[in-house]
Amino acid sequence: MADVIQIPRRSLHDEVALRLREMLVEGRIAPGTKLNERELCALLSISRTPLREAIKLMAAEGLVDLLPNRGAVAVRLSETDVVHAFEVLAELEGVSGELAAQRITEFELAEIRALHYEMLACFTRSDLSGYYHLNARIHAAINSAAKNPLLSKTYREINARVQSLRFRTNQNKPMWKLAMKEHGQMLDAIIARDPGAARKVLVEHLLRKRDVVLDLMRGGAT
């Protein structure tokens, strides 16, 4: 049995949902796997009530399916699902970059720059998990800097469905190196306050992710 993970009691079902999302992203819960309530309660040191509330929240986000007589099952996306999700996500990220380049504050820019260099350190150490968490924070920060609540809400909903697949795209070292280079270009475009360049690099970055994900799926690697 894995070590028990202690969870703070404040907003417990939200904390549980956060931990479950991380487990999905990092492949500790594989697509198509049934969520075993007894095992998860023991692992997270919680009762079934917050776990079930968290699972309901994740079902609303499209991360798990609630199936009759089977309970909650981690969603398994088809190739068509992936294509549709990334088509929308690429445009949402592109708009985020375009607006962020126009609206970002100096404080927000300094934060993104700091996250970028922390992420570069993770890349240098081949710390994929650390890199991914910083990567997600950078994309979220760019989206936040766009200062459009509706854009942010839609982005979070779509991105949640493909986070686990995005995590896997950097397990190929050359692709990881290219992703790091593209992040440098994102930062440069936003620092230059160039909306067109920011939009272009973010759209291309996401479409490249889509292509890698599809190659992995077709090769049975996901």
pLDDT in tens, 117-161: 999 999 999 998 899 889 999 999 999 999 999 999 999 989 888
Two tokens at 56?
């309901």
- CATH classification number, 79-218, choose in 3.40.800.10, 3.40.309.10, 3.90.110.10, 1.20.120.530: 1.20.120.530
Rounded Cα distance between 13 and 107, Å, is 32
Q: How many of the other CB atoms lie within 10 Å of CB of 166?
A: 22
Asked if residue 9 has pLDDT above 70, the reply is: no
For the question of whether the overall pTM of this predicted structure is more than 0.85, the answer is: no
Write the DSSP assignment of 82-108 as a string of letters: HHHHHHHHHHHHHHHHHHHHHH--HHH
CATH: 3.30.428.10, 3.40.50.1220, 1.10.10.10, 2.60.40.10. Which one for 12-74? 1.10.10.10
Query: Cα–Cα distance between 156 and 161 in angstroms, integer?
Result: 9
* Residue 152, both tokens: 């942010």
Tens-place pLDDT, residues 24-58? 877 788 888 899 999 999 998 989 899 999 998 88
